[in-house]
Amino acid sequence: MAGVDMVHVPYRGQGPALTGSAWRSRCRCCSPPRPAPPITSQAGKLRASAVTTAAARAEVLPELPTVADFVPGYEASQWYGIGAPKNTPAEIVDKLNREINAAIADPE
């Protein structure tokens, strides 16, 4: 959308992406931890520029603009799902549902 030519280089998680050879890249996309600390490395080599959600700034990083502020119409988001094997007993599914909803409702 912005006419920028980039190459996707996958890493096995954010830890490896933020250490070692990853410093050779100029740009990376990652999810902020919760609660989000100030996004900067001790060496000052890492700086957050924007969040990818288009609707609003991230609650954990309210000072960062959205990419859509610079590239109108841009949005990238993610979601997480949890599954269980077929024929999982209903009481296990119910317990998972209760515990997951309790974790989601916990502000911590």
Rounded to two decimals, the pTM is 0.55
Q: pLDDT tens digit string along 57-92?
A: 877 778 888 888 888 888 887 788 889 999 999 999
Map out the domains of the chain as residue ranges. Answer: 1-79
Q: How confident is the model at residue 31 (pLDDT cuts 50, 70, 90)?
A: low
DSSP H helices in the chain: 14-17, 90-105
Residue 10 zone, left/alpha/beta (φ > 0; ψ -120 to 50; rest): beta
CB 65 within 8 A of CB 45: no
pLDDT at 32: 61
Q: What is the distance between the terminal CA atoms of the chain, rounded to a whole angstrom?
A: 36
pLDDT at 101 over 90: yes
3-state secondary structure at position 72: coil
Q: CA–CA separation, 24 vs 89, rounded Å?
A: 49
| Total count of residues recorded for the chain | 108
